[in-house]
Amino acid sequence: MTLTASYEHCRRLNARHGRSFYLATLLLPAWKRRHVHALYGFTRHVDDIVDAYGNEATDTEVRAKALDDVTQRLSASLEGEVIPDPVLPAFVHTVRSFGIERSDIDAFLRSMRTDLTVTRYATYDDLLVYMEGSAAAIGLMMLPVLETVPSAGRAAREPARELGRAFQLTNFLRDVAEDLERGRIYLPQEDLARFGVTEDDLRSGGRTRPLRELVAFEAGRARDHYRRALDGLGLLAPSSRPCIRAAYELYGGILDEIAAADHDVLSARARVPRRRRAAIFARHMLAASAAGRAERRLPARALEDGALGDGALGDGQV
């Protein structure tokens, strides 16, 4: 597997399994896009290992061994060993190119290991601990690739973590039925009790008013995470803003579709209609093109001096 082929493999994983996010990545400059695909490809590959074998005890052992194997192969690859693997060459190249912190990768792997044995979360605080690795850490891994304006410093880190949490919680609400088939419930147990919803209600596909109220409550939490992430969009490099703004709207659109279905998440999987997806993409396409052209025109010294700072391309164009 050559490096080019590994990047292409990751791109295909993104296109096949993360259609909304993949559509948003098309707004990035090509040189950034492949690195974002590499991050997606690795996280998807590990997530597939965790989900691949069902939920029997013997399967847990198989999945744990497979997760151990990919962790060891990653460590060897990061140390310079050539590992024959479809995902690792691109991922490791991206990690090295942008100085992505190993602590963020390890946080992600810890949360994936949690999925092997933990199927319920007592409180929302417990779920936030899980999402620190499964979502917030991914936001932090993305940040060096997307780049921030020179004045941002570390201020963009918390909004990146918040956006990861927002996307993750949106996925949890969209995928209640799918996760239940794997034996997992990500809706906090204290919230089920608060609204009088039982696990049997979920398994029976019940569309009761208490269940709809529970989903509406959790959707409100997700929207809070989106709001807290919003300030960080302006801290990104101009050539990355259209992509993340589009992703923000696409994932937020899933919550809109859930609300339009009166918060029924069991009858059908919420999807943003193709026409709305196309409109979101088109709305940000011109800004992406303009930012990309501006970035290409700048000489190296201008980039070093921060000419792509806050005023280089106004948010009004995005």
Residue 308: the pLDDT is 33
- Taking residues 277-292, report their average pLDDT: 94
CB 68 within 8 A of CB 61: no
Residue 305: the pLDDT is 37
| Rounded percentage of the chain residues whose pLDDT exceeds 90 | 85
Residue 306: the pLDDT is 38
CB 56 within 8 A of CB 112: no
Structure tokens that stand for 207 in this block: 């569309």
Residue 301: the pLDDT is 41
pLDDT higher than 80, residue 221: yes
Residue 86: the pLDDT is 95
φ and ψ at residue 281, rounded to 5 degrees? -60, -45
Calculate the average pLDDT of the chain: 90
Contacts of 109 (CB under 8 A, 6+ apart): 46, 67, 71, 133
How far is 252 from 280, CA to CA, in rounded Å?
A: 11
pLDDT higher than 80, residue 312: no
pLDDT higher than 50, residue 310: no
| Rounded percentage of the chain residues whose pLDDT exceeds 70 | 91
Model confidence band, residue 315 (pLDDT cutoffs 50, 70, 90) = very low
pLDDT higher than 50, residue 215: yes
pLDDT higher than 70, residue 125: yes
Residue 313: the pLDDT is 28
pLDDT higher than 80, residue 213: yes
- Taking residues 215-233, report their average pLDDT: 97
* Choice between 204 and 285, residue whose per-residue pLDDT is larger: 285
In the chain, helix, strand, coil percent, each to 5?
70, 0, 25
- Closest C-alpha to 47, from 130, 108, 124: 108
Residue 10: the pLDDT is 98
Q: Domains, the chain, ranges and CATH?
A: 3-298 (1.10.600.10)
* Choice between 309 and 121, residue whose per-residue pLDDT is larger: 121
Residue 303: the pLDDT is 36
